[in-house]
A and B are shown apart, each in its own frame.
Chain A
Amino acid sequence: MRNFVLRYLIPRLGQWVMVIFLGVTLTFIIPRLSPNDPVERQVSQIMMSGANINPEAVAHLREALTEMYGLKGSSFQQYLAYWGRLLRADLGPSLSTFPTPVTQLIARAMPWTLGVLLTAVLISWILGNLFGGLASYYPKNPFIRVIDVLSQAVRPIPYYVMSLVMLIMFAYVIRIFPFSGAYPPGTRVQFSLPFVLTVLKHSALPALSLVVVGMGGWFLGMKSLTSNIISEDYVVYAETAGLRENKILFQYVMRNALLPQITGLAMQLGTIFSGALIMEVVFGYPGMGMLTLQAVMANDYSLIMGIAIFSIIGVATSVLILDLIYPLFDPRVRYQ
């Protein structure tokens, strides 16, 4: 147990701290390196919209904004204050929907993203691995070969383009799924059976586009991992010993390839999350991606900052959780 803590848990927690530290520092440095001063930009934007603002009010506004962006004092003091606000989970008010706090907007959007993302990742990971294992064990099966070719074809397509293809095919050419949104406009968000059903119908296409691209990747990964394992001595031995085929496939072949695939999932999580953001923009799905688009359109600097920081911390933490579950699957780590 002590070994587990020293060799696995502590380095892993260290990495989590490192990711968040690097990410937050990046979000601190980037705005300060940029040639556009966010305060001046905000001031000029407000000046352009409202015609008559006296200079005194402008000076006051400038000061308030400087305060809000944490631009007071030396860079180091600013940096410390930045961390201070983050640790209190204070991301400031959104500028476009003033004075709603950014955290509240994110909390409203997050469940939508999480729902479709988790479902899609689970389905694609399980199906991709299952078919991948089958593919190297039964290389001649025609059904599996079709999946193989399809996986190779969809693997390189970016989420954005795949979502567009899905949209054109299943909402425009064959009109079986709705164009956009998670529910028809004007519906009240509630927890009732008809509402859940419409949400499911609206979410099917977004989820499908994530599943299709993701599954291709897991399939190819699993196939290449297991194709090396099936020629291992212990598999040949199990075959000569006359074990049942599905026992060999699941417990001898796929079991050993599962661990790198879990690590792979942890490492891909950031990419998958980014893909989901983009998928939402295509489908007008009201999650984090749409929130980002709105923030960009409305020039809402604090909201974009908040989304960036939240995404980094959120993804790093999910990866950490996944890595802490990992020992459950790996007897070598568990029994150390």
Chain B
Amino acid sequence: MLRVIRDLLKYDGRFRFAFVFLLAVLILAISSAISPYDPGRTFKVPADQPPSLQYPFGTNSRGQDMLWWMAFALRNSLFLGLMTAVVSRVIAIFVGLTAGYRGGFVDRALMSINDSFIVMPVLPVLILLSFLLRGRMSLVMLALILGLFGWPWDARLIRAQALSLKERAFTRTAVYSGTGSLKITLNEHLPFVLPVVFATTVANMLWSIGMEVTLSVLGLSNVELPTIGTAIFWANQHQALVAGIWWWLAAPVVVAIVLFLGLYLLFSSVNEYIDPRTRLRLMGG
């Protein structure tokens, strides 16, 4: 693991960017533990202060320090992303491996459900769902719901891999020596799929954090909970741009861009690293 990181740092410019970006994000998220005050409380600091040494991200009209709000927002967003990724990964691995290994009718049935989920516009369904749950939607619940919708792309990828693994000699050996299909998929096939699973985890985090921003902006999540989305929601509510308090919007936008770029660059760099051909080209082998 450490060697992989060292190699990537040495040979891949994108990974270096991703590393720096995500490190900054992590430091800010972890520093939420030493926050001098609860960021949700209003009028703890003077309102509408532009960015300065004392308040690096400025303060908003509700008397909240944007720096600490963003620290908590990152912590919450990362938690949401990871949890959604875990839930949807479990479904994706299960559906992908089963469809690929079983083939035939099971494959066709699972893939038609899968493709329906891909084509369906998730946002309106999520809006309906969170509208009905308004006020009761906790971060964990949102993560679970997003997890239930976030698996189909990756299930397809995993299925494609499982299809080719099924034809390999070792699978046939395992079948002939009487290994059950559950054991074959979990013990023999899963390890081959794991690199893809990791890459898609990052992509899925990007998706779920983006969705949270979207729902919060519409005021459909718990707006008292600091997240990147709720920061934008409050800025819109107070018409920050019209009032000239640009930093209220700039703080979440900048933090979001750093987070999303970091995750995306990590994703594309790891994705290429998984493919041995591009890995050799990168390292000049």
Contacts and interface: CB of A to CB of B under 8 A. Distances in A.
A35 B246 CA distance: 39
B122 to A, nearest CB: 7
Give the interface SS of chain B, mostly helix, strand, loop or mixed. helix
Interface stretch (B91-99, B172-180, B190-198, B254-262): B254-262
A27 B128 CA distance: 8
Interface stretch (A46-54, A88-96, A152-160): A152-160
A316 B125 CA distance: 14
A35 B129 CA distance: 11
Interface in A1-47: 14-15, 18-19, 22-23, 26-27, 30-31, 34-36, 38
Contact of A270 (B119, B232, B261): B119
A273 B250 CA distance: 26
Contacts of A269: 119
Interface string B197-240: 00000000010001001100111100000000000100000000
- Greatest chain B CB density within 10 A among A27, A311, A319 is at A311
Nearest to A315: B121
A307 B124 contact: yes
A273 B121 contact: yes
B128 A296 contact: no
A38 B124 contact: no
Given A157-B260, A296-B131, A164 B218 contact: no
Contacts of B14: 152
Contacts of A165: 253, 257
Contact of A23 (B120, B242, B253): B120
Contacts of B213: 158, 160-161
B246 A172 contact: yes
Contact of A292 (B127, B261, B265): B127
Contacts of A36: 132-134, 136
B116 A15 contact: yes
Contact of A311 (B115, B118, B124, B136): B124
B263 A312 contact: no
B33 interface: no
A256 interface: no
Interface residues of A, number: 52
B133 to A, nearest CB: 6
Contacts of A23: 116, 120, 125
B25 interface: no
Nearest to B153: A267
B113 A274 contact: no
A266 B116 CA distance: 12
B241 A296 contact: no
Contact of B210 (A158, A168, A305): A158
Interface in A291-313: 292-293, 296-297, 301, 304-305, 307-308, 311-312
A34 B119 contact: no
Contacts of A153: 261
B112 interface: yes
A207 interface: no
B68 interface: no
A160 B209 CA distance: 12
B5 interface: no
Contacts of B131: 296, 301, 304
Contacts of B112: 14-15, 18
A116 interface: no
A161 B119 contact: no
Interface of B: 14, 112-113, 115-125, 127-129, 131-134, 136, 206, 210, 213-214, 217-220, 232, 241-242, 246, 249-250, 253, 256-257, 260-261, 263-265, 268
The 5 closest A-B pairs by CB, nearest first: A156-B264, A274-B123, A34-B132, A158-B210, A270-B121
Interface of A: 14-15, 18-19, 22-23, 26-27, 30-31, 34-36, 38, 152-153, 155-158, 160-161, 164-165, 167-168, 172, 179, 266-267, 269-271, 273-274, 277-278, 281, 292-293, 296-297, 301, 304-305, 307-308, 311-312, 315-316, 319
Given A168-B253, A296-B220, 20 more contacts: A15-B112, A18-B113, A22-B120, A23-B120, A34-B129, A156-B206, A156-B261, A160-B217, A165-B257, A168-B250, A179-B242, A271-B121, A271-B122, A273-B123, A274-B214, A292-B124, A296-B218, A311-B123, A311-B124, A312-B125
7 contacts: A156-B206, A157-B256, A164-B253, A273-B121, A273-B123, A301-B131, A315-B119
